[in-house]
Amino acid sequence: MEVYEKVCIVCPRGCRLTIKKDETSLKGYTVEGNTCKRGAEYGIKEVTNPTRVITSTVKLKSDHLNRLPVVTKGGIPKAKMMESMKVINNVEVKPPVKEGEVIIENLLDTGVDLISSRTVEQ
Amino acid sequence: MYDVAIIGAGITGTFIARELSRYELDTVILEKDNDISSGATKANTGIVHAGYDAKPNTKMAYFNVKGNPMFDKICEELDVPFKRNGSLVVGFSGEDMETIEELYERGVKNGVPKLEIIDREKIKKLEPNIGKDVVGALYAPTAGIISPWELAIALAENAMDNGAELYLNNEVKDIESTDSGYRIKTNEREIKAKYVINCAGVYADEISQMVGDSSFKITPRSGQYYLLDKAAGEMINTVIFQCPRKFGKGIVVSPTAHGNIIVGPDNEVVPNKDATQTTGYRLSMIRETAQKSLEEIPFNKNITNFTGVRAEPDTGDFIIEESKVAKGFINVGGIKSPGLTSSPAIAEYVTGMVKDISGGLEEKEDFNPKRKKVIRFAELSNEEKTELIKKDPSYGRIICRCETITEGEIVDCINRNAGATTVDGVKRRTRAGFGRCQGGFCMPRVMEILARELNRDVTDIVKDGTDSYILTGETKEIENGEE
Amino acid sequence: MDSYEIVVIGGGPAGLAAAIEARKNGVENILVIERDKELGGILQQCIHNGFGLHVFKEELTGPQYSERFIKELKKMGIEYKLDTMVLHIDEDRNIEAINTKDGLIQIKTEAIVLAMGCRERPRGAITIPGTRPAGIFTAGTAQRFINMEGYQVGKKVVILGSGDIGLIMARRMTLEGAKVEAVVELMPYSGGLTRNIVQCLDDFDIPLLLSHTIVDIKGRDRLEGVVVAKVDENRRPIPGSEVEYECDTLLLSVGLIPENELSNEANIEIDPITNGPIVNESMETSVSGIFACGNVVHVHDLVDNVTRESRKAGKCAAKFVKDELKEDSHTVRTIPGEGVRYIVPQEIRVENVDEDITLFMRVTDIFKDAKLVLENGDKTIKEIKKIQFAPGEMEEIKINASELKDGEIGDLKVSIQKGGK
């Protein structure tokens, strides 16, 4: 039987999850050790298609700040992290930029946008 | 063709340069490192000794006792902080007190004024926190504390204000004797000078050998230190030595000219002249030994550790003489402790030698002994602060939070003669980065100011030596994510 | 001389929350003083996510989290001064500050909220022997260089200390193209959150060396390597276990110290364990009318807790201004018992507790299957059971006002006891 031990990263609590393959359950896996619903979702995702939120910066043409912090609006496949950095490293942005503004749409066809994580007026 | 080339921009070299700049001479200082005061001068205890330590009738004793009283005037002229706070040599036993008696006799012979042997009760008045086992002490009220690198920097600046030249990053590789003097080859250039003064510190023997003079040898000896935060500074007032014993001279605990506490040094022969690393076991030994003088030294307020390498001459005394095999080549070697205290007297003496060798010197009419005042913002009155910020708003921006150093002070220290070009250079001149956080907050700002004032890229700003780069480039510059 | 009802020193998450809350509680004349060129404090360089789960019920990056407060502060029209450094404060609530525009500023205020945050311990604080080359950074300094200034600080990196900043920086440097050789931790456990070990180290196969330390630093101008050694149970290096790591960069994440130079000036009593002011239920320090909140009081691991604590400080500063705080209330102390390192607040003036009060604390060691027990004399008021307590994670116990006002309550002791889940 497939059994995985994972530490949940959904919140700072860090629950220790045991994920078991279980054909009879609705999602194909059962999760133990979680203390919330999101933990169970994380557990299954972590053994089927692990994803991570990427936070980084892009170049910014501003006297005020050299780099604009950016974040993916949701997790992207873990395996694509380093590849996505190559794309992120090639972007340059001019202010004004609003927090939440899309910087790269559909990053590497993951369906997830990269957005600005702060406002820079000038 | 220069009249005089000085090799080494430590305290001896810069002091001699400043003395020579009183006269109509073309003087150049050659320094192998990236700043003034990069050797022993930046890493010693910073004590102006009273003069009881050196054996009578040595150069050490002579120049120490002669140099000590010269500091007040020089420090006033050059606007360098100096405090005559007195020193104690503390004894822990009857045997120690016998040694202290000998030191007293020696001091009297050397001509040290106001020496006094005091008992525990009197010590307590001077040092309420003194260790419980201290029984008595030799008190020398003429001893003082100074920041040696600030003095060397000020001397170099003043010498340059009066016409001297300075080449940093010029390591002397070869010296040839010519008809009219010497041709000195460095890694960067070739210069000619009628007279050469060798102030190369631990490397003085190697420089001397370049003109065929192997009359002395310098052994590197290192001493390690703790430097404690200003918050600890209040607990002592004087320089506290321990009574020397057969197996060592003990550890000094002293306030610094800026109100920190310095603890050290030990004394060990090291294999390399650049062995400035600290070692765990030696630091713990220093700590233990120092706690005999004062039990409560707050080592938890340590902000940094460092090592100084001193020039130990095999002659047992300072070497201050014209080489017997090279005319016009003056060796000033083996200037270990009390070298700092002796340096003003040595500079005067060496200037006299140059006078004799050259057949007389002409005084400069416009020699200015004073350095442009250094603005120390934190020490100003509120009215002065307000006025100053009105005149120059950059004095209203605090860059170093721990030491309250403003942008104006940093800009000023960069734009003077012998000015700062590095992060440590700024630190040595203004104390920005010298405090509790050790530059954690202000280093990026200091680098920005250096880059702006020197018209360089921030990535080209170094910590200290030419290869001590801080940043490896910009982010987002990696080609396709591959190196 | 300018005068205000409340002056908040520090425009980071603590100061912002305190100022906003003070305004919400009816104080008009508030000033926030920030030394940086913008509001937001250290969060502006913490570009990673994980902030705000408690306060906003969503996961935000540091800049996103602080922007919410900055927007609210600006909307409320609360006055703030940037690029302004407070030089002195005193017990009578006089403040001297400085900036380039106004020069030297003298301020008189009815209440002060201290929110200066903390600073990183440098190399000297832990006395790592060796040379003194460039390439040794505190993790936060490196974070600022990389995330805000846009400079890379090195290519081959060793990190000392596995606190959250160290772990986060391991991932950041890796994503920016550096190779992180190892994270070295003196203790047998990490000081950071488990989730950060997973997503910052495990994801990138970065080794975490527990019970190890750095015993030597090599390199003349720029760092060339560090020597790592195992330590015994007394945290002393074990001879013979040394391994040299070639690297050009060493990041230090070896602890944070509350910045209390101003507090000392005002003769505020400091807790030797937290290194921050001793505070009461209202986050008021030993000096009447001077409040404190956030990392200047004790180092937090979650900004959400900073916000909660700071809101309380802001609210109580407002009460103080309106003369609604009771000075002569029955007062009890909070006493850290076995296994508890400290508790904040250190004092509770019972009558000032409206609905409930939360005690924040840290344990001294890893405790498995244990419980945190809050006692008043022989009476147990509360128990919290857990599979594991760790010093890296702040614990909290909430007490209802009714439990405090139940008869003449004495000092409250919190300790770790056996018998968790």
pLDDT per residue of chain C (421 residues) written in tens, 0 to 9: 899 999 999 999 999 999 999 999 999 999 999 999 999 999 999 999 999 989 999 999 999 999 999 999 999 999 999 999 999 999 999 999 999 999 999 999 999 999 999 999 988 888 899 999 999 999 999 999 999 999 999 999 999 999 999 999 999 999 999 999 999 999 999 888 888 999 999 999 999 999 999 999 999 999 999 999 999 999 999 999 999 999 999 999 999 999 999 999 999 999 999 999 999 999 999 999 999 999 999 999 899 999 999 999 999 999 999 999 998 889 999 999 999 999 999 999 999 998 899 999 999 999 989 999 999 988 899 999 988 898 888 999 999 998 888 777 889 999 999 886 5
One domain for residues A107 and A62: yes
* Mean pLDDT computed over A32-36: 89
Sheet strands (E) in B301-454? 302-313, 319-322, 329-333, 398-400, 405-406
**Domain ranges across chain B:** 2-41+148-218+315-358, 82-144+220-309, 377-460
Q: Does domain C1-120+256-325 have CATH number 3.50.50.60?
A: yes
Which candidate from B279, B280, B474 shows the least CB-CB separation from C152? Answer: B474
How much is the ipTM here? 0.94
Architecture of domain B2-41+148-218+315-358: 3-Layer(bba) Sandwich (3.50)
- Residues of A contacting chain B (CB within 8 angstroms): 57-59, 67, 82-83, 85-86, 89-90
A45 in C contact zone (CB under 8 Å): no
Contacts of C132 in chain B (CB under 8 A): 276-277, 306
237-296 of C, contacting B, C-beta below 8 A:
237, 248, 257, 261
One domain for residues A112 and A93: yes
Contacts of A14 in chain C (CB under 8 A): 193-195, 198
Q: What are residue B35's phi and psi, to 5 degrees?
A: -155, 165
Say if CB B232 and CB B261 are below 8 A apart: yes
- Confidence at B479, pLDDT banded by 50, 70, 90: low
Q: Check CB contact under 8 Å for C104 and B382.
A: yes
Contacts of A71 in chain C (CB under 8 A): 47, 49, 61, 64
The radius of gyration of chain C from alpha carbons, rounded to an integer in Å, stands at: 22
Q: For residue C43, give how far its alpha carbon lies from the nearest alpha carbon of chain A (Å).
A: 11
The secondary structure element, H or E, covering residue B107 is helix B94-110
pLDDT one-digit tens code per residue, B204-228:
999 999 999 999 999 999 999 999 9
Q: For residue A63, give how far its alpha carbon lies from the nearest alpha carbon of chain B (Å).
A: 13
CATH code of B82-144+220-309, in short, is 3.30.9.10
Contacts of C150 in chain A (CB under 8 A): 57, 59, 66-67
Which of B32, B42, B49, B273 is catalytic? The answer is B49
Contacts of A58 in chain B (CB under 8 A): 476
CATH code of B377-460, in short, is 1.10.10.1100
Identify the pLDDT of residue C420: 66
CATH number of this structure's domain C327-421, picked from the four choices 1.10.3470, 1.10.760, 2.60.40, 2.40.50: 2.60.40
CATH number at A59 reads 3.10.530.10
- Confidence at B152, pLDDT banded by 50, 70, 90: very high
Identify the pLDDT of residue B481: 43
Query: How many separate domains does chain A show?
Result: 2
Identify the pLDDT of residue C409: 84
The answer to whether residue A39 is domain-embedded is yes
Q: Check CB contact under 8 Å for C148 and A65.
A: yes
**Domain ranges across chain C:** 1-120+256-325, 122-254, 327-421
Q: Which stretches of C35-89 are DSSP H helices?
A: 62-75
The answer to whether residue A122 is domain-embedded is no
Kindly tell me the sign of the dihedral angle through the C-alpha atoms of C187, C188, C194, C198. Answer: positive
Q: Which domain holds residue A79?
A: 55-116
Tokens representing B385 are 């602060």
Task: List the chains bordering chain B where 3 or more Cβ pairs fall under 8 Å.
Answer: A, C
B405 in C contact zone (CB under 8 Å): no
65-84 of A, contacting C, C-beta below 8 A:
65-67, 69, 71, 78, 81-82
Q: Which residue of C has its CA nearest to B471?
A: C153
Picking from C283, C324, C326, C288, the residue whose alpha carbon sits closest to that of residue C305 is: C283
The last residue of one of the domains, among A30, A48, A66, is: A48
Identify the pLDDT of residue A14: 79
Place of tokens 């604390």: C361
Q: Check CB contact under 8 Å for B458 and C101.
A: no
Distances (CA, A) of B151 to A88, B13, B76, B343, C202: 51, 12, 11, 11, 52
pTM over 0.80: yes
Say if CB C11 and CB C40 are below 8 A apart: yes
The pLDDT of residue B277 is above 50: yes
B49 in active site: yes
CATH code of C122-254, in short, is 3.50.50.60
